[in-house]
Amino acid sequence: MQLANEELERLVVRDTLTPLFNRRHFITCLAERLSRLERYGTQSALVFIDVNGMKRINDTYGHSAGDLALLHIARLLASSVRATDIAARVGGDEFALLLDGVTEEAANEKAAHLAEMIAQTECRFGEEHLPLSAAFGCTALREGDNDFAAIARADMAMYAAKRGNGN
């Protein structure tokens, strides 16, 4: 019974494909960070990440390759955040990070480092090398924000990056 409860608890907060948190848990954590900001002035930043070219990977190599690419990126993100940070898969090929005690400038530096890491690490599907890159959008959480406002700002920054140079 205890194992079943632990599995159920894991399914409530974890993404089914990746080892990351799911969207529901991410939104809960974002609301908590916004409350801490309002109450204590605790700084945090939000980073939205969109994997480039997933449709092409799925269409060319199949959905198993796409899943492998998502797992690869999820592992890179998970290994690059601190215990106080939150890494989540929030949509099909979209990820998000909540970085604790970080300014927007520091979040941008982290995003640049992650973009380079994703582009430089090899992801192999059988004999094929999957070309991976991602677009990043960063914003600091601001007093008066709600979760929708913070997400919209990070999302707009991510799409601006996508329109600019792709990352």
CA proximity to 52, closest of 69, 37, 28: 69
Q: How confident is the model at residue 163 (pLDDT cuts 50, 70, 90)?
A: confident
> What's the pLDDT at 167?
57
Which amino acid, one-letter code, is at 135? Answer: A
User: Residue 116: which CATH number?
Assistant: 3.30.70.270
Q: Which residue has the tokens 């982290």?
A: 110
Q: Which residue has the tokens 């390759």?
A: 65
14-36 mean pLDDT:
96
Residue 114: domain span:
2-164
Count how many domains the chain has. 1
Q: What is each CA distance from 167 to 30, 32, 49, 95, 108, in whole angstroms?
A: 24, 29, 9, 14, 12
Q: What is the pTM of this model?
A: 0.92
Q: Give 101-126 pLDDT, tens digit per residue.
A: 999 999 999 999 999 999 999 999 99
> What's the pLDDT at 10?
66
